[in-house]
A = this chain, B = another copy of it.
């Protein structure tokens, strides 16, 4: 077992304990509050991230940690764990089962492993750099759109909600271009879209104005499944990076990147 295999084993244990605390808190009932950015946080988010941080610090005292709820620990460490304990807290609170726990491990900028765990769906997606991408025990292999097949706009695209295009400046026009160009698009609110891009369930997904913890598992998962992952916008504010990415089947990702960069007709022909 390589060093990275051992780290993946650790990551699964950390995800198991997050899932346990999320399920326990859901069963018991919990309080919720509104954060400064108007998003919701619950006792389940906080408890899951705390348990994760404790476990990482105990197992890997020299590693860094970045979490949505409790910020940065040991910045500059060689290895850095990144967690969003519940991505889609609004779904969690409303009883929609698409919420997920996102865990990533980075060596500098390089993603080593990623886990997307969905307690409400009883599914886990994970990948290890060089070790493949999996949903539970099944290996994920993205099949690209055949080059003989024209991109018509009938493809299955996921887009983050339009309001994510209105954060940090109004880029709603880009959403509208995509929505008109791909009229069968879907809109979820969680990292389930990354999982479905990795499994080929969605042909691609466009993720707009997110934080590093939102995307902590996406790149390694998509790339290990054979897909393309492109950061199309990378800005910063005082809270850190604001990232926008396109991921999924390589031909479609390339086409969308070109659409967004204005290098291709804005609607598919």
| Chain A interface (Cβ < 8 Å from any Cβ of B) | 94-97, 121, 156, 161-163, 165-166, 172, 176, 179-180, 183-189, 196, 199, 201
Q: Which of B180, B186, B196 meets A187, CB within 8 Å?
A: B186
Docked-complex contact B201 and A183, CB < 8 angstroms: no
* Top 7 A-B pairs, shortest CB-CB distance: A163-B183, A162-B183, A187-B187, A94-B201, A186-B187, A163-B184, A161-B184
**Chain multiplicity (copies):** 2
Whether B183 pairs with A185 at a CB distance below 8 angstroms is no
A187–B162 alpha-carbon span in the complex (Å): 11
Bound Cα distance A131, B95 (Å): 24
* Chain B residue, CB-CB nearest to A120: B121
List 27 contacting pairs A-B, 8 Å CB cutoff, sorted by A.
A94-B156, A94-B201, A95-B199, A96-B196, A96-B201, A97-B97, A97-B121, A161-B183, A161-B186, A162-B179, A162-B180, A162-B183, A162-B184, A162-B185, A163-B183, A165-B183, A166-B183, A172-B180, A172-B183, A176-B176, A176-B179, A176-B180, A179-B179, A185-B187, A186-B187, A186-B188, A187-B187
CB closest residue in chain B, given A184: B163
Q: How far is the CA of A234 from the CA of B232 in the complex (A)?
A: 43
Give the complex CA separation of A95 and B172 in angstroms. 31
Give the docked Cα–Cα distance between A156 and B176 (Å): 19
Report the minimum CB–CB distance from A143 to chain B (whole Å).
Answer: 13
Of chain B, the residue at the smallest CB distance from A159 is B187
How far apart are the CA atoms of A176 and B95 in the complex, in Å?
28
- A94 and B166 CA atoms in complex are apart in Å by 31
- With CB as the reference atom, state the residue of chain B lying closest to A90: B156
- Docked complex Cα distance between A185 and B163 (Å): 9
